Amino acid sequence: MMADSRRTVDAVWRIEGPRIIATLTRVTGDIGLAEDLAQAAIVDALSQWPESGVPRNAGAWLTAVAKRKAIDGWRRRERLDERYRMLAHQLAAGEEQLWEPIPDDVLRLVFTTCHPVLSREAQVPLTLRVVGGLTTDEIARMLLVPVATVQQRIVRAKRTLSAANVPFQTPEENEWGERLGAVLGVVYLIYTEGYAATRGDRWIRTELANEALRLGRVLAGLMPHEPEVHGLVALMEFQSSRFAARVKRDGSSVLLADQDRTRWNRAQIERGRAALGRADAIGRGRGSYSLQAAIAECHAVAPTVEEADWTHIVTLYEALGQLAPSPIIELNRAVAVSMASGPEDAVPIVERLAADGALPRSHLLPSVHGELLRQLGRVEEARAELLTAAELAANERERAVLRAKAAAL
């Protein structure tokens, strides 16, 4: 029974938590205090709901309890702090409207938990906690760190926000773009941690990636006029649509070219296309998330690798390289160019990267270079590149594949 009520309270928190915290933060001006008050209300819920049943409007119940706790706390310290005394007085006098959630509060909350004063290490658990409505246990499980670490990071994040006196506001127009970029960056970081899974088993990866998608959809609801929010949702939907086809039964990876495309999740691809459509419909052009989503869309709609619109993919990579230049994007462009117009056009791009000393410790550059040279029949050079790639490869399986490729020349 106890475990059941814990799960029920968690479920209510999951749904109502962000709005409760947002409302309490607006009133108290302090996200840390708001979180503490909400926690105290949850403790009450855990002891009372098993007896009384879950209240009809559980969110309002929790908010009201948190409010009472705020007033009690402030009264105790009323001699100490004039501001709190005023607040306690106002709240007790029944300014109920202050406790009604308004949608903008959650948006302020998002910009606060992703505030640049916080490190990424702090932004991620704080955002999952107060915007995602996850428990610290769940966050610890998803991020594969101890619960104490998560708690510590959240506590420290709240202290930092308080010390820096971060206002509970959405950013001003002149810093909007940059701050929005930071918010989207946090969500995408959560997603890629789930997608590329530096650690852990597949189930955890999917769960974390789904969490990022949920956050993305929340952002799309909060900021429907921002094209990059929809672009990010689209990108995550497209990438997730390939989850089932990405890993073989024995746990080894499947390259895009070899994936069974019938196992791609069509409903998810359609959601991705709809989200990209919403980004485009705003009519302010494509940012880097929308461009990456558009590339993913080209693959998603192609029946085979060869049938993808590679010429268009090259154009998209060019645009992406202009917006966010990186050797990885350039290398991807080289692969796309080789598919669109042949390896002879792609080799100079790779050689330029090599001459610049790009990606020095990665096997990716020599691996792509070797493959292109192989296609051109430049056997000796291809072998040398593939063997260099094999030496740099991070795991045995990868190394074996590259060596076999070199030996087969």
* Residue 228 touches other proteins, criterion: CB under 8 A: no
Contacts of 358 (CB under 8 A, 6+ apart): 327, 330, 331, 365
244 binds other proteins (CB under 8 A): yes
Helix (H, G, I), strand (E, B) or coil at 32: helix
Query: Between residues 157 and 229, which has the closer beta carbon with respect to other proteins?
Result: 229
Single out the segment in contact with other proteins by CB under 8 A; choices: 6-14, 25-33, 89-97, 149-157. Answer: 6-14
Phi-psi region of 283 (alpha: psi -120 to 50; beta: other; left: phi over 0): left
Which of 52, 95, 103, 326: binder of other proteins (CB under 8 A)?
103
Q: Least CB distance from residue 181 to other proteins, whole Å?
A: 20
Contacts of 397-406 spanning 24+ positions with Cβ under 8 A: 397/252, 398/363, 402/363, 402/367, 402/370, 405/370, 405/371, 405/374, 406/370, 406/382
**Region of 26-34, 155-163, 247-255, 379-387 interacting with other proteins (CB under 8 A):** 247-255
Distances (CA, A) of 260 to 199, 222, 247, 292: 25, 36, 11, 22
> Which range touches other proteins (CB under 8 A), out of 33-41, 94-102, 155-163, 253-261?
253-261
C-beta closer to other proteins: residue 115 or 363: 363
Question: Which x/- pattern over 148-187 shows residues binding other proteins (rule: CB under 8 A)?
Answer: ----------------------------------------
Q: Considering only CA atoms, which of 327, 390, 322 is closest in space to residue 356?
A: 327
Site for other proteins in 312-371 (CB under 8 A): 313, 328, 331-332, 335-336, 339, 362, 364, 367-368
Instruction: Say whether 253 sits in a helix, a strand or coil.
Output: strand
Map tokens 């960056």 to a residue: 185
Tell the smallest beta-carbon distance from residue 253 to other proteins (Å): 4
In angstroms, give the least distance from the CB of 211 to other proteins.
8
φ/ψ of 247, rounded to 5, equals -125, 130
What are the start-end ranges of the E strands in 301-341?
Answer: none
Cβ nearer to other proteins, comparing 118 with 313: 313
Nearest distance in Å: CB 193, other proteins: 10
> 85 to each of 17, 35, 262, 299, how far by Cα in Å?
26, 20, 64, 61
Count interface residues toward other proteins (CB under 8 A).
67
| Cα distances (angstroms) measured from residue 280 to each of 257, 290, 310, 323 | 28, 8, 21, 17
Tell me the closest approach of the beta carbon of residue 197 to other proteins, in angstroms: 5
Q: Which residues bind other proteins (CB under 8 A)?
A: 7-8, 10-12, 14-15, 103, 134, 138, 192, 195-203, 205-207, 210-211, 213-218, 221-222, 242-244, 246-247, 249-253, 255-257, 267, 271, 295, 299, 305, 313, 328, 331-332, 335-336, 339, 362, 364, 367-368, 394-398
